[in-house]
Amino acid sequence: MIFLFLFLLFFIIYCLINKYNNNNKNNNKKYNNKKYKKIIKKIFLTTEQYPRLKILEEYANIIEREIPEFNKEKVKFTRKREDWNNKGMDALFEELKNNDYWIKSWDGKDNWYNFPLIYNNKPVGLAEKICPETIKILKNIPIIRVCGYSLLIPNGKLDIHKDLTGPTYNSMALNLNLIGNNASLFIKYKNKYYEKKHQKYKAIIFNSEKYHYAINYENKNRIILYMDFII
């Protein structure tokens, strides 16, 4: 009889402890999900925070339509890492005054290419002739430092890096997805990388001073409109 009583007592205690642990796990899961969503909203911004850039999403189909054809074999020019959104771009702007094609980026892996469109609100090279409607749209945004198409080859990955674009430099970065249904941007926040899936014709705005990288999971090119803009 005593044995039966002790067995029931231990069984009840076990059930109560198990229930308590499960409740804690569920509460932690809810807390972590809530915390995760809060961080995502903090590091991946939208045009809701920067409404003057909504025009890019509204006319994204036109911007996509004017993407120049791409053939890796025709690419002749490679830009240096520092020659994009600072004084190095002044010299590059002059060097590209007759540019009419994609240029290779600085990563050295042949998987990332740019087609420059605007630098300090001025068309780069022959961009206005090749992409007239896109340049027309961009001229409605008088805060552009650098803007262009950015191509990541099939199954390509950009190395982890950071840029001179962010609040320290009175600017922010924008990625507008044009082509590609399975690519992501990753940003480091407090020693952890957070992922944001690209969505068709949707812009992701972020602080490019933070370490970040991108992955194209598809067997076709991922192409976005990239922009550094003044805040």
C-alpha span between 176 and 215 (Å, rounded): 15
Q: Which residue has the tokens 């290779």?
A: 104
Residue 81: CB atoms within 10 A of its CB come to 12
- Cβ atoms of residues 146 and 172 within 8 Å: no
pLDDT at 169: 93
C-alpha span between 113 and 224 (Å, rounded): 11
pTM over 0.85: no
C-alpha span between 1 and 84 (Å, rounded): 83
pLDDT at 158: 93
Residue 87 pLDDT class (50, 70, 90 cuts): low
pLDDT at 93: 83
Check pLDDT > 90 for residue 3: no
DSSP label at residue 157: B
Residues for the chain: how many in total? 231
Domain boundaries along the sequence of the chain: 1-43, 48-230
Q: What is the pLDDT of residues 180-226, one digit of tens each?
A: 999 999 999 999 999 999 999 999 999 999 999 999 999 999 999 99
- Cβ atoms of residues 218 and 180 within 8 Å: yes
Check pLDDT > 50 for residue 30: no
Q: What is the pLDDT of residues 98-144, one digit of tens each?
A: 999 999 987 778 899 999 999 999 999 999 999 999 999 999 999 99
Give domain 48-230's CATH number out of 2.40.37.10, 3.40.50.150, 2.130.10.10, 2.60.120.330: 2.60.120.330
- Cβ atoms of residues 68 and 131 within 8 Å: yes
